[in-house]
Structure 1
Amino acid sequence: MERHPSAAIIEQMMKAQNTNPKRLAKEAGVGPTYVRDIIEGRSLDPKTGKLTQIATALGCKLDDLLGKGASVTPIHTTQIEVRGDVQAGVWREAIEWPAVDWYAITVPIDTAYQGFHRYGLKVCGQSMNKVFPEGSVVVVINFGDLGRLPKTGDFVVAVQRCSKTDQYEATVKAVQIRDDGTVILWPQSWDPAFQTPVVLPPQDGHDHAGVPEVAIQALVVGSYQANPKASFS
C-alpha cells in the first residue's frame, strides 16, 4: 500500500504516546478523519500546514514527520488517575473525590520514580501560581511509599485534621527546612494575599512534620497543564 512518508512515523509516535488517530486529529485541530486518512493511504499529499499542526500535537517538528530531522525517539508514557483536588492557598477539606469521579491522564514515565505509585491532584487556588497555575494537575507520590522525609526545595502536599469537622484538609506548598529542623511550608504566588508560610515544629524522624495533626503526605514529582484557551476580551 502506498502511503505518504509521514504515515509510518505518525503511527510510531501515536503508539508511543498511547493515542489514536481521532484523538490526535482533535488535539492537532484538523478534521476528525485527517490523521486516519494519512495512515491508511487515502491522503498521499497532505497539506504542509496541517502536517505541522500534527507534528506540534505530537511534540516534534515537521521535518521529523517527513524523515528529514533527527531520528524520532519514542516517548514512553503511562496513565495515572486524578483522584481529587488540593487547595493552593488555604487548607481545604476533601482531598479525594469519590472513585466514580476519578479520571485518567497520560504522563511520561519517570525513571527516577519507576515502581512507585503515582496519582494526580487538581490544583485549586492561586497561592502556587508561579509554579502550578490553577487547574493544573500535580503528580504526587506518598512519602510513606518513598521511604524518605521531605527536603528543602521539595513541593509537597500537606494535610491536617480539621478541628471543627474531624475531617482532613490539604494544601500544596514548597518546603524549607531550617538548621534547627523547623519545617516551613511556603506559597509560591504572584498574589500578595498569598505570602504567609505555614510553620511546623521540627521533624521527628517519621514521615510527618512532628505533630499528628499536620502531616506532609506526598511529594510532587511532576505536573500537567491542559492547553490554555485564548481570550479576546
Structure 2
Amino acid sequence: MKRTKMIEARKRSRLTQEVIAERMNVSVAQVSRWENGKDGIPSQRLASMSQAYGAPIGELLDENSEFLAPGPTLFIKGSVQAGHFVEAWEIHEDEWERYTGRADVAVPLRRRFGLRVIGESMNEIYPPGTILDCIAREPFDDIPNGKRVIVQRRRMGDGIETTVKEYFCDADGVEWLVPRSRNPAFQAPFRCDQPGDDIETIEIIALVVASIQPE
C-alpha cells in the first residue's frame, strides 16, 4: 500500500491540503506528513480523516493498521468510584496494570495515568471495569463543558476522597459536577464552590481523555 492513495483521494474530490487541515483541525504540515508516510496516523483520527477526505478509510489506506501510530504504554494506578466519593484511589506501584493510552494526546507522559471504574453510579457512560485514560490537570487548564473529570475532596481531619463526574460551567460562571447514573440516588449535581460543611477543599485533579470499556 502506498500512502499516495490519500493524495489521489483528495485530488479526486478536488480538495487542497488546506481544506483537509481545516476539517481535521490540524496543520497543513501535519496533513502532508500523513499523506507522504512520514507520520503514523493515530487510530482516533481515522473517523475524522474519512469525513475530511470524503472517502472510506479503506480507500485511503489498504493496510491501515501498519501505519497507525500506537498509543503509549501507560499504567492503571488505582480505582475510582463513579458518581460518588470514596477514599484512596491509588494502589501500590507493584500492582499497576499496563494499558495502551490514546495516541494523539500531546502532554508529557508523566501527566498520564489510568484509573479503573468501580461501582455503578456513573453507569450511563462508564460501566464497572471501564479504564479511564486520564491526564493530570495543571493550573489554568481549561475544562470544556461536558468533559468528564477526576475530582478530589479533602474532609476535615478525615482523609482524601475521589470520584469521576461530568463538568459543567453555567452562564453565571458557576462550576457544577454532574453524575451520569440511571440510579436516582446518584443523579444530583453539586456546585464546586459548595462542597459541604465537613469538606475542607474540593479540586479537579485530572481530565478523562478516553475510556476503554470491558467486553
Could you tell me the TM-score, scaled by structure 1's length? 0.58
State the AA in 2 paired with 1:90: H
* Counterpart for residue 15 of structure 1: none
Amino acid at match of 1:83: K
RMSD, aligned CA? 2.2
Residue 161 of structure 2 is aligned with which of 165, 169, 181? 169
Residue of structure 1 aligned with 2:74, choices 72, 77, 80: 80
Q: Any conservation in 2 of the 1:181–1:201 contact (CA below 8 Å)?
A: no
- Residues of 2 paired with 1:222 and 1:180: CA distance? 29
1:219 Cα offset (Å): 0.5
Counterparts in 2 of 1:105-124, with a 5 A limit? 105-110=99-104, 112-116=105-109, 117-124=111-118
Question: Which structure has the bigger radius of gyration?
Answer: 1
Provide, for residues 186-222 of structure 1, a one-character-per-residue CA deviation record: whole Å limited to 9, x for no partner.
Answer: 01112222211121229xxxxxxxx960001100000
Deviation at 1:83? 0.3
Report 1:114-153 matches (<5 A): 114-116=107-109, 117-144=111-138, 147-153=140-146
Q: Distance in 2 between matches of 1:113 and 1:194?
A: 33
Give how far 1:154 is off. Answer: 1.0
C-alpha contact (below 8 Å) 1:125/1:134 kept by paired residues: yes
The alpha-carbon deviation at position 114 of structure 1 amounts to: 4.5
* 8 Å Cα contact 2:83/2:181 also seen in 1: no
Tell me which of 167, 171, 181 is aligned to 2:173. 181
1:157 pairs with 2:157: no
Identity, % of aligned positions: 31
**TM-score, length-scaled by structure 2:** 0.62
1:45-80, Cα deviation, whole Å (9 max, x unpaired): xxxxxxxxxxxxxxxxxxxxxxxx933333323211
Picking from 205, 209, 212, the partner of 1:217 is 205
Give the gaps of 5 or more residues in structure 2. Answer: 1-60
Following superposition, the deviation at residue 132 of structure 1 comes to: 1.1
Q: Deviations over 1:118-151 (max 9, x none)?
A: 1000111212111111111101111117x51323
Identify the match of residue 95 of structure 1 among 85, 89, 108. 89
Stretches of structure 1 that go unaligned for 5 or more consecutive residues are 1-68, 203-210, 228-233
Offset of residue 92 of structure 1 = 0.6
